[in-house]
Structure 1
Amino acid sequence: MITLRAAAPALAALPAPTTAVRPTAPVSHNAAGRLGFGAVVAMSVGALLGPGVLVLPALAAATAGPASLAAWAVLLVASVPIAATFTALAVRYPQAGGVAGIVARAFGERAGAVVGWWFFVAVPVVATTSALIGGQYLAAVMGAGRLTAYAVAVAILVLVFAANAGGVHLSGRVQLGLVAALAGLLLVVIVTAAPHVDLDNFVPFMPRDAWSVGQAVALLFVAVAGWEACSTLTPVVDRPRRTLPRVAAVTIAVLTVLYLGLAAATVGVLGPDAASTDAPLLAVVTVGLGPAAGGLVAVVALLLTAGAANVYVAGAAHAGAALAESGHLPAWIGRRSGGEPRRSLAVQAAATAAVTAVCCSVGAGTGPLLRVVSVLLAAVAVAGVAAGVMLLRGRAFIVAVAATAVTVAVLAAAGPAVLAPAVVTGAALLWTCLPARAAPARLVRTAGSREPSAAVVAAPTRASPASPRPARRRRRRRRKRRVKSGRR
């Protein structure tokens, strides 16, 4: 889920942009130097499991009550055709460069650029949400209020952007270690909560109407929006045609156990209080293991959220630079310093500061932020599976049609939040249609280097004074004046 999973996007330069919003750093290889089944399963689970799950069960319970379990079940069933479609695309187009590259192949470069914009715009909201989750858990264990949570969130974000400005990034092993810690924490919560589940907390099962379940599904979609990561793994996977479908099946099974178990534990132990707590896992663990375990849970949550924010900010900075170098963002954003995309990082920092300031000023929690992130990721999924409809044939085509119907239904259930991808799409198309926008930059060879550097020189545009057309016009006018003066 883009919720802040400890996974970073593999980003390629456009016109095959990628918003594979998950990390794909190889960790375990087989003898042939390719990723084996176990490593790919670990990375796929990591692409879908993130710190957002620390608050999603409570938010879903606040939306639909005990019927949130039905929302989780519907979501997991609906993720099957989505996973199958992205797996088929990954096998058929292993070098596409992520979901944006696949969208560009199906619908053109401009559509791929729009997907890149969705990711670039989503990350400031993701980073703020991740930091706020960590702040909420630390504030809860301290017995402090939301003001403390905001202060901790700001501190996390300052640390994350300072680390990225200094070129400090998390390795693939550290990312997978964080995911393993999160999975272990969830298992501990499920096991320790089992003896304390009260079946009366599930009655009435649906205190609101059926539409509330649909709204919960739209909110929870962020928990399964990570299948596009498979399209970036294919080139390094051993026997991808055989391995990737098996990986998808095992990943769905693992997520089913974790998500349904966590949702049942949250509702069964906390009951109506689940809807009002900012740190549901902390409350469940405290019931099962006592207050002493709460501090450990808060520390783990803090590390997870800070690590996830670091990874996503780094990915977004490189994504913005790739978009700018391809002419899909202003050219100055793509300029690098010491190999680091610091201007793109500065744009991300400013946007994240604005989102954080708005949240602090209105007292918003993680719920509204996750709804925006979820709908942006649903839009990415719609574009990806719709590309599958255009590119796949046979049974894979039928599955892609089903996946498209599912993701469109999720978008429809999102309500007003669906305006977020619509506004971003309008801005992206407006920029790409501007006649004077920066053209794709050219690779230039730097002094003392045998390899071309990152694209740093934009091709001259119609409005640029360096353009040859105005110069030709000036020479033509001078010749005309000389001819006229000679006649006189």
Structure 2
Amino acid sequence: MADNAQLRRELGLREAVSLGVGGTIGGGIFVLVGTTVGEAGPAAPLAFVLAFAAAVLIALPYAELASRFPRAGGGYAFVRAALGPHLSFLMGWGFWGSYVFMSGFITLGFGGYLHSLTGLPQPIGALVVIAASTAVNVAGMRLAGLAQSLVVGLTAVALLGFGAVGLPHVDLDRFTPFAPHGVGGVVTAALFAFLAYAGFDMIAAAGEEIKDPERTLPKAILLTLLAVLGVYLLISVVSVGVVSAGTLGHSPAPLATAAEAFAGPTGQRLVAVVAVFTTAATSNAVLVVMSRIAFAMARDGLLPRQLSRVGGRTGTPWAAVLFSSGVLAVVALAVSVPVAAAIGGFLYVVHFMLPLVALVVLRRRTQAVPGFRTPLARVVIPLAFLICAVFLVASGPTGILGASAWLAVGFAGYLLGGRSRRRGSAPTVPAAPTPAVTAGGPAGGGTAG
């Protein structure tokens, strides 16, 4: 009976775009501006444009998949339908891993901004926000949801205010030399900037609750990306235009450093306070998503079943929350922001490549015409694969080796656990979190930035 349950379609275009923008813009941009400038120098705004183009190329076939499967689950549903359980496990494991590592730089970002206010060491600040997020998640989703709603509005106002006040102070001379680290630096920066668009896929995951999904989904995804691009261009241009690229790239609190250049110590503290709240809310949202993915995989026998335990009073998956927060704490203490971004970026790109493969398979398998078809598919789909491959290479040895090790360990565990799964029911791949859970994605509001 439960498997046949249907969600109500109550989200129109405006609500879907709000979901996407709210889930994309968030704590990630407060951290990723510095990381992107560190790789690209003054060409960081170009990196955000390239990342936008990549997101559009990936979003178009993703939107076609969403119109073919307008139900909850997003990429999981696509891969499960076309490629079967083994690759769908890799989808879930890789997606969970992307949240683990991307949340690492979000929590470190919190620590950096808290350090600029209090002097508390960055790693200690990261542990503080992980502990606080754990407590909120164990207490229940109602409090977490209220906090997310408040912070999304605060973030939007603060970022637009930062851009409006800072724009008149931009010095164009700071944009030369434009790309001191060459094309390679810009491409690597584009991968990091791509993490700041994480969240548009939340709209596809909510497909079962969107009205007229065949038409609304692709429009909502593209409008979300355009809106986010505008904000990110404003923030990156102002940041690079008021502070030297070297200073910005090495700052643990880049937007606060930029604000100090045109608004003095008061502006620096104000931005730092907003960043602390925003990165804290994003860290909380990431832990929500991480724990729900771990819970669902454990419930399906893909992770130890002890992680599927749920609190009787709160109804929260407390075991998965504690497990996820423990893994997150290890990552926050063991890696730097660039390392976490490289590994998380590789895994996040992989999580898009598998649905692209699924689309190719489904197009050959069925003659059904979806409500939305990728325009110029013979060009767009290969280009989407190409940009994904470029991003994988751009993650560098750190991203490639770290992410490959993560995938290998997970898949080995999956294969070793096959015997116990065969003794029970057939596993299903966990559905993607519901919109209420994912508000504020990993690097964006959410998905990183």
- Once residues 172 and 403 of structure 1 are traced to their aligned partners in structure 2, the CA distance between those partners, rounded to angstroms, is 34
- Partner AA of 1:41 in structure 2: V
SS in 1 for 2:419: coil
- Once residues 123 and 79 of structure 1 are traced to their aligned partners in structure 2, the CA distance between those partners, rounded to angstroms, is 18
SS in 1 for 2:121: helix
- Once residues 250 and 36 of structure 1 are traced to their aligned partners in structure 2, the CA distance between those partners, rounded to angstroms, is 13
| Residue in structure 2 matching 1:94, options 36, 57, 70 | 70
| Residue in structure 1 matching 2:301, options 308, 316, 327 | 327
Distance 1:268 1:139, change over 3 A: same
Quote the residue 1:195 is aligned against.
168
Higher RCO, Cα 8 Å, sep 6+: 2
Contact 1:225 1:378 in 2 (8 A): no
Query: How far is 1:421 from its partner?
Result: 3.0
The structure whose Rg is larger is 1
Quote the residue 2:358 is aligned against.
387
- Once residues 244 and 208 of structure 1 are traced to their aligned partners in structure 2, the CA distance between those partners, rounded to angstroms, is 38
- Partner AA of 2:200 in structure 1: W
- Partner AA of 2:59 in structure 1: A
SS in 2 for 1:291: helix
| Residue in structure 2 matching 1:400, options 358, 370, 381 | 381
Q: Deviations over 1:190-228 (max 9, x none)?
A: 111111111111111121221111111122221123332
| Residue in structure 2 matching 1:59, options 6, 14, 35 | 35
- Partner AA of 1:67 in structure 2: A
- Partner AA of 1:382 in structure 2: M
Quote the residue 1:217 is aligned against.
190
TM-score, with structure 2 as normaliser: 0.83
2:396 corresponds to 1:415:
yes
Query: How far is 1:173 from its partner?
Result: 5.9
1:224-263 equivalent positions in 2, closer than 5 A: 224-263=197-236
2:18 corresponds to 1:35:
no
Q: Deviations over 1:300-350 (max 9, x none)?
A: 211211222122212222211211221211222223342432222232132
Contact 2:203 2:220 in 1 (8 A): no
- Once residues 180 and 401 of structure 1 are traced to their aligned partners in structure 2, the CA distance between those partners, rounded to angstroms, is 38
2:156 corresponds to 1:175:
no
Distance 1:86 1:172, change over 3 A: farther
Distance 1:84 1:268, change over 3 A: same
- Once residues 201 and 96 of structure 2 are traced to their aligned partners in structure 1, the CA distance between those partners, rounded to angstroms, is 16
Q: Deviations over 1:79-104 (max 9, x none)?
A: 11211112111111112622122112
Contact 1:330 1:438 in 2 (8 A): no
- Partner AA of 2:263 in structure 1: L
SS in 1 for 2:302: coil
| Residue in structure 2 matching 1:355, options 331, 355, 363 | 331
Distance 1:337 1:126, change over 3 A: same
Larger fraction in helix: 2
Distance 1:178 1:440, change over 3 A: farther
TM-score, with structure 1 as normaliser: 0.77
Distance 1:358 1:230, change over 3 A: same
- Once residues 36 and 362 of structure 2 are traced to their aligned partners in structure 1, the CA distance between those partners, rounded to angstroms, is 35
- Partner AA of 1:371 in structure 2: A
1:428-439 equivalent positions in 2, closer than 5 A: 428-434=410-416, 435-439=418-422
| Residue in structure 2 matching 1:76, options 52, 74, 82 | 52
- Once residues 67 and 301 of structure 2 are traced to their aligned partners in structure 1, the CA distance between those partners, rounded to angstroms, is 29
Q: For structure 2, list consecutive stretches of 5 or more residues without a partner in the other structure.
A: 365-372, 427-449
Query: How far is 1:45 from its partner?
Result: 1.1
Q: Deviations over 1:443-464 (max 9, x none)?
A: 9xxxxxxxxxxxxxxxxxxxxx
- Partner AA of 1:418 in structure 2: I
Contact 2:36 2:192 in 1 (8 A): yes
Provide the aligned C-alpha RMSD in A: 2.6
Distance 1:376 1:169, change over 3 A: farther
The count of aligned residue pairs is 407
Query: How far is 1:390 from its partner?
Result: 2.1
SS in 2 for 1:94: coil
Q: Deviations over 1:388-438 (max 9, x none)?
A: 222247645433332222212211211110223322322232223225334
- Provide the identity percentage: 28
Contact 2:107 2:332 in 1 (8 A): no
